[in-house]
Amino acid sequence: MKICSRCLYSELHPLNITFDEEGVCSGCRIHEEKDLLDWNARFQKLKQITENYRNQSGNNYDCIVPVSGARDSYFIVHTVKNVLGLNPLLVTYNKHYNTDLGIRNLANLRIKFNLDIMTLTVSPETVKKITRGTLRKMGSIYWHCIAGQTVYPVQVAVKFKIPLIIWGAHQGIDQVGMFSHLNEVEMTRKYRKEHDLMGFEAEDLIDEFDGIEESDIVQFRYPHDKEIERIGVRGIYLNNYIRWDSKAQHEKMIELYDYETGEQTRTFDTYNDVDCFNYSDVHDYIKFIKHGYGKVTDHVCREIRLRRLSREDGIKLIKEYSIKEPKNLNQFLNWIGMTKNGFKFILDQHRSPKIWFRNENWEWELKNPDPFQNENRRKSEVDQVRLALVENECKFRHTPNKRTDFQDEKYILIGKGYYQ
Amino acid sequence: MLKKRIIAVVIVKDDIVVQSIGFRKYLPIGKPEITLEFLTSWGIDEIVYLDISATKNQKLPNYEMIRRAAKKCYVPLTVGGGIRRMDQVHELMSAGADKVSLNQIAWSEISFVKEVALAYGNQCVVASVDVLKTSNGYKVYDYTKKQATGMDPTDYAKKLADYGAGEIFINSVDRDGTYLGYDLDLIQSVTNSVHIPVICCGGARNAADMVQVFSKTNVSAAAAANFFHFTEHSVNVSKSIVYKNENIRLETHANYSENTFDSDMRLTKKDDKILEEMLFLRIEKETI
């Protein structure tokens, strides 16, 4: 298995990845642009684009900003409202797996920035039905979250004639270097279908076997081409114009707006995805089963590229976290109404044969239990492309829990938004 | 008069679609079938599918992948990469290709061009020529050896046409992925030297480059690869811009005829008044 000689992504990355003559991956090469581009000029470009979208009549918002409350939400809203001076409409898809911390962070975001927010909460019975279908079809419990997050902003844009949507980081650029920052890639339905939705559009879920009918997927349906064209909908990504550093950005948001951090099951990052019981837990465990790697690898690679983590420490972290069992599996099984055996059976259908095999006891075993076994032999190749560290430690902060008396153990569908 | 064409080039390396920069740097995009599905729905005129790793890795074309991708493609599909024998051409045609693109094999064995042309007709043969600008002028480039040959591209194009090529696909190596625009001198010199259609490729940044190449040269089709991956409805948008100057097909329901664009050919906002009026307007979906 080919592993980048700088970061720790392997050729199995589900977004695809390429390697150059030095064995360095496309993600690392594009990441080098972060230290080469003139980010002041890039930011001016962003200003120029967004200035054009300022509403002149006073009857509408300037743009739409999709938020979850976690994962860069604060930084994006801060940039759009307080740096660019725009008047955004926040939109959020209710992912159902909300933690109390997530509800708190979202309420705090709404109040601190004093903005309007629209929420889409699909009926839990429909969401469960869809999730049973996506589990069977693609082994995903997160399809509805990603489908909802990526479609609801576009639906609102079309409905209320707000043509500009502002996103944070484009994952394809940040992880695998799908595009140069200079390509100024915009939101496309194509990327959404292929990478966010794993090739399944909402319509593809309609299935008698799963009991999913047309009426179940209405909320996940993408507006048609003519609507996009008439309104002139465009989605831009801030990381093409701002040197993206998720860790530093979150730390700034902790200082400025009291963003709350949280411990996560399967990664050392305490900033991203703390709003969800499943993201860094059941969902990420499934990712490990399917692709042989988890979110911790994404976080390690990100920190290596930003020169805060050495390759060797990164390997230790990946080994520690990627095999961790999920803590919230029972909670998920209760919610969806499935036994552990049933869940395991379904997951086994989605194990990648590139990674797993059945041993003589008919148990699943990793073909390559230690993907980093060749590290010693690769030393000279690795040292050749190694980045010098700029920070000696890679520490993630832990803020005090704002509601210590509360036992956070159930999905919160609609929360009051505790605020102090 | 024949309409000019807008062609998307889908570059496939090790079974994934990539962006190519300078014939040496490759960025991963995704699956061929998804790329072809969307290019088709965005109203592209033709698609050229080039597997750039097949010949280099001495592999056969990946017929299964091409068959899967071709199912999503409703426009003429040219397939190239790894073709060395006639039975491969047969197999590609049955997998859904409408034409084949011959590059390396045409260079090493020009009689093969004639052989395919005799079997399937000249219109089926797209002769692909990579060209490098050297200090001695334009020279045909051999990508397997990564160096320029001594051959002049206009002489070579003439020869290919004589052997039965139906179209010449001219690709500028030094403009690949640079976004500096097409190499107009090169393209004009090739179109002047042959009587068959010429497709130009290499260097396009956006539709403005296509407008320019159509106005300055006699090329019959402008092709681009990378920038079609960058924005929503990239083909519809590009065609709506080229349509203002050139006789091309623009048949998508979403045709961007009422939108305006900035100097990068990206969408600009419609007037607030127009947007407000749209609040009470029903936007009809295209029904076929």
pLDDT of B16:
95
* Extended strands (E) in chain B: 5-13, 16-21, 25-30, 46-51, 77-80, 99-102, 125-134, 137-142, 147-148, 167-172, 198-201, 221-224
Q: Which amino acid is at B150?
A: G
B28–A26 CB contact, under 8 Å: yes
- Flag whether B20 is in a domain: yes
- Flag whether B229 is in a domain: yes
Express each pLDDT in B53-73 by its tens digit: 887 788 889 999 999 999 999
- Flag whether B29 is in a domain: yes
pLDDT of A419:
59
Whole-model pTM above 0.90? Answer: yes
Express each pLDDT in A95-110 by its tens digit: 999 999 999 999 999 9
CA distance B37 to B262: 28
Express each pLDDT in A308-329 by its tens digit: 999 999 999 999 999 899 999 9
pLDDT band at B270 (very low <50, low <70, confident <90, very high): very high
A419 or A213: whose pLDDT is higher? A213
* DSSP output for A282-344: IIHHHHHHHHS--HHHHHHHHHHHTTSS-HHHHHHHHHHHTTPPPSSHHHHHHHHT--HHHHH
CA distance B34 to B45: 17
CA distance A115 to A314: 39
CA distance A315 to A337: 37
Q: In A52-87, which residue ranges form alpha helices assigned H by DSSP?
A: 73-77
Measured between CA atoms, how close is A348 to chain B, in angstroms? 24
Measured between CA atoms, how close is B277 to chain A, in angstroms? 10
Express each pLDDT in A29-67 by its tens digit: 999 999 999 999 999 999 999 999 999 989 999 999 999
CB of A14 within 8 A of CB of A303?
A: no
For the cut 70, the answer to whether the pLDDT of residue B257 exceeds it is: yes
For the cut 60, the answer to whether the pLDDT of residue A420 exceeds it is: no
- Flag whether B271 is in a domain: no
Tokens of A214: 């047309």
CB of A141 within 8 A of CB of A282?
A: yes
Which of B26, B35, B230 faces A183 most closely, judged by CB atoms? B230
pLDDT of B172:
95
B17: domain CATH number is: 3.20.20.70
Q: Which amino acid is at A154?
A: V
Whether A20 has its CB under 8 Å from any CB of chain B: the answer is yes
C-alpha closest to that of B13 among B48, B46, B57, B45 = B57
Give mean pLDDT, residues A328-339.
Answer: 95
CA B276 to chain centre: 39
pLDDT of A369:
86
pLDDT of A404:
84
Domain edges within chain A: 26-35+261-385, 40-240
**Containing structural domain, residue B220:** 5-252
A225–B269 CB contact, under 8 Å: no
Whether B180 has its CB under 8 Å from any CB of chain A: the answer is no
Express each pLDDT in A190-233 by its tens digit: 999 999 999 999 999 999 999 999 999 999 999 999 999 999 99
For the cut 80, the answer to whether the pLDDT of residue A416 exceeds it is: no
Express each pLDDT in B240-256 by its tens digit: 999 999 999 999 999 99
CB of B90 within 8 A of CB of B131?
A: no
For the cut 60, the answer to whether the pLDDT of residue B123 exceeds it is: yes
- Flag whether B210 is in a domain: yes
pLDDT of B146:
87
C-alpha closest to that of B197 among B3, B10, B50 = B3
Listed by number, the residues of chain B in 215-234 with a beta carbon closer than 8 Å to a beta carbon of chain A are 226-227, 229-233
Percent of chain A beyond pLDDT 70? 99
Tell me the CATH number for domain A40-240: 3.40.50.620
Listed by number, the residues of chain A in 124-163 with a beta carbon closer than 8 Å to a beta carbon of chain B are 160-161, 163
Please count the other Cβ atoms lying within 10 Å of the Cβ belonging to residue A222: 20
CB of A130 within 8 A of CB of A143?
A: yes
Q: Which amino acid is at A241?
A: Y
pLDDT of B59:
84
CB of A179 within 8 A of CB of A199?
A: no
B272–A26 CB contact, under 8 Å: no
Percent of chain B beyond pLDDT 70? 100
- Flag whether B131 is in a domain: yes
For the cut 70, the answer to whether the pLDDT of residue B88 exceeds it is: yes
For the cut 90, the answer to whether the pLDDT of residue B287 exceeds it is: no
CB of A88 within 8 A of CB of A80?
A: yes
Whether B27 has its CB under 8 Å from any CB of chain A: the answer is yes
For the cut 80, the answer to whether the pLDDT of residue A333 exceeds it is: yes
Burial class (CB in 10 A: 0-12, 13-18, 19+), A56: exposed
Is B130 among the residues known to form the active site? Answer: yes
Mean pLDDT, all residues of chain B: 94
Express each pLDDT in B206-219 by its tens digit: 999 999 999 999 99
For the cut 90, the answer to whether the pLDDT of residue A246 exceeds it is: yes
C-alpha closest to that of A50 among A60, A39, A37, A63 = A63
Question: What is the chain B residue with the closest CA to A183?
Answer: B230
- Flag whether B74 is in a domain: yes
pLDDT of A418:
66
Mean pLDDT, all residues of chain A: 94
Give mean pLDDT, residues B84-112.
Answer: 95
By DSSP bridging, strand B5-13 and strand B16-21 are antiparallel
Please count the structural domains in chain B: 1
Q: How far, CA to CA in Å, does B52 sit from each of A47, A176, A237, B83, B92?
A: 39, 20, 31, 11, 16
Taking the CA atoms of chain A, what radius of gyration do you get in angstroms? 21
